[in-house]
Chain A
Amino acid sequence: MTRDLGFSGILLFVLGLALMVELAVGPANLSPLEAMVALVAGADDDPFTMIVREIRLPRALVGIAVGATLGLAGAALQGFLRNPLADPGVIGVSSSAGLGAVIAIYGGFASGFALAIPLFAMTGALLATAVLLALSARQASVLTIILAGIGISTLAVALTSLVINISPDPFAVSDIVMWLLGSLQNRSFTDLWLAGPFILLGCGLMLAGGPGLRLLTFGEETAQTMGLDLVRLRLFVVLGAALAVGASVATVGAVGFVGLIVPHMVRPFVGHDPGRILVPSAIAGAALVLLADICVRTIPATQELKLGVLTGLVGAPFFLYLVVHTRRVMR
């Protein structure tokens, strides 16, 4: 327990450092100290204060919320599905949430009701998770779950492509595609207020499932004899992941592989108890997304790179490594 707290403390320190750098990085040249001064004591009408308070701070806070969500959801899903390859992106939850958001916007629902986007995204994520559970049923193998996830993801991407295909506005196509690549750019406090409650609720549900996930490592039947309410645990994890991931995707688009990588980074330090890795995974997820965002802001390019592109470039090889490793272990 002390080791867990110590590790979480180190992660929080890294997160704090990443936050300071995130607030100091951008086209407006500010040192970390100047950024802190602008944040805490800057005059309201000073452009640098506005940059730090109204552009960089909400961007960083949204990044922390989304990163924590993805890290936590990855850890919870890997524990619940007992599958080291589970991740909201890999099993189709993120792409289904993206489809929900796209439908909300191009169906015209978003124009009259801002909450329509997170609601539709969460519904997409919930449907994807429910279908995945139904398809993988009891005693499903690692491969079955992954294949089911790939099927769901492919269908969601195909339906999103259909919406793009039939869009009457040729300019909207690039908007959708760029948004789906995932980015924290230009996110505001409005985004945080819209998605924040759902993210908090979803994360709370997943954290409440921690003790159940620990029991589940003994197998479903043994865990049930030890008092585990499997239906309740499923509700906590599935609903929690759907709410939090759906709201996150509605805010920043699809940022893949964070939920896959983070639990594997955390396990060597806190062990393999799925209940114990939840909180460190959330903190590490937040730190990872902020560090990735710092990278996309500092890599010299004519356009700012998309966050989802960077996490994909790092995450996909890691996923392949895990596939090879899992195949060897499970042979």
Chain B
Amino acid sequence: MRTTIPLGLVLTFVLGSHVHAAPSGVVSFDYCADQHLLALAEPSQILALSKYQGSDFSYFPSPRPPLPQVRGTAEEALALRARVVMRAFGGGPDLESVLAPYGIEVVNLAYGDNFEVARRNLRRAGRVLDQAAKAEALIADMDARLARVRAGWADRPLEDRPSAIYLTPSGATTGGGTLVDEVITAAGFRNLYAEAGKQGWFMLDLEQLLIAPPDVMVGGFFDLKSSATNHWNLARHHLIRRLLKEKPSLLVPGRLLDCTAWTAVEAVERIHRLYLEVTTAGGTP
């Protein structure tokens, strides 16, 4: 303790000129925590958002007036005299043990593979922020929206539903046991690779795709400049480009799927709506 208090004071002094200290509150270390904070917290509760806020990964636009942004280091949390640091992946390992001596609580939002984890994340954030009612309202809204989309497919047995595969620009796809698989299923499709018994994330195999092409392609993260123009990704392959043209391609912005969060319900609705638009225009696959 004899060494930690002077260290905190020194850090505050050194960093004070770069980051404006606020009396108390919550700091976010990554874009997943940003969206939970912006959805649940009162503006007065937020001391700073992450450096990602305002980027392609952000679900919400930057608040007005803008809030301070941090890279996601323990020093910044100390300099801001944060009460709580919220994060999903930012801040590096051992953040809790570094900040615990200063009484700063670290809230870890879970990475998960289903909507239940998204619900737990909301409840956890709501409890910490003393905004449990808002969290429950968001969960209820998410569940109602999921139920509405499911109702749209209710008359069509699972085996009659169109098959789909998920694709990112770098060629990643998913089998069962991921949030994206739940999104695809909730939107009314059969995930071809989950049906084939594959689990988790893996790289798409072009040959398998040609042998057993899906009825629709669900794409994520194609809106990101860094991914879409990336030379070494699979999306530039002419066979993929051809498939994306020939098959109904239902593209979802990356910001809806980059966290285990309630935002994924918007991806479900979007995929469902795009599919209805495509099939209304050109017939049912």
Q: Which residues of A contact B (CB under 8 A)?
A: 26-28, 47, 50-51, 54-55, 104-106, 108, 110-111, 114, 117, 167-172, 174-176, 179, 185-186, 188, 190, 253, 302-304
Q: Are A168 and B208 in contact (CB under 8 A)?
A: no
Chain B: residues with Cβ within 8 Å of the partner, total of 29
Of the candidate stretches B98-106, B115-123, B128-136, B226-234, the one touching chain A is B226-234
CA distance A319 to B55 in the complex (A): 46
**Which residue in A27, A108, A170, A171 is a CB contact (below 8 Å) of B205?**
A27
Q: Are A171 and B227 in contact (CB under 8 A)?
A: yes
Q: Are B229 and A47 in contact (CB under 8 A)?
A: no
Q: Are A169 and B226 in contact (CB under 8 A)?
A: yes
Q: Which residues of B contact A (CB under 8 A)?
A: 55, 57, 89, 168, 170-171, 202-203, 205-208, 210-211, 221, 224-227, 229-234, 236-239
Q: Are A54 and B238 in contact (CB under 8 A)?
A: yes
16 further contact pairs, Cβ within 8 A, besides A27-B207, A47-B210, A51-B210: A27-B205, A27-B208, A27-B211, A51-B206, A55-B206, A55-B210, A105-B232, A110-B231, A111-B225, A169-B227, A171-B168, A186-B237, A188-B237, A302-B202, A303-B203, A304-B203
Q: Which residue of B lies closest to A302 (CB)?
A: B202
**A185 neighbours in B (Cβ, 8 Å):** 203
Q: Which residue of B lies closest to A180 (CB)?
A: B232
CA distance A303 to B202 in the complex (A): 7
CA distance A27 to B226 in the complex (A): 30
Q: Which residue of A lies closest to B232 (CB)?
A: A179
Question: Are A114 and B211 CB-contacts (below 8 A) given A302-B202, A303-B203?
Answer: no
Min C-beta distance of A193 to chain B, whole Å: 12
CA distance A54 to B211 in the complex (A): 13
Question: Are A175 and B206 CB-contacts (below 8 A) given A47-B211, A186-B237?
Answer: no
Q: Which residue of A lies closest to B168 (CB)?
A: A171
Question: Are A175 and B239 CB-contacts (below 8 A) given A47-B211, A55-B206?
Answer: no
**A108 neighbours in B (Cβ, 8 Å):** 229
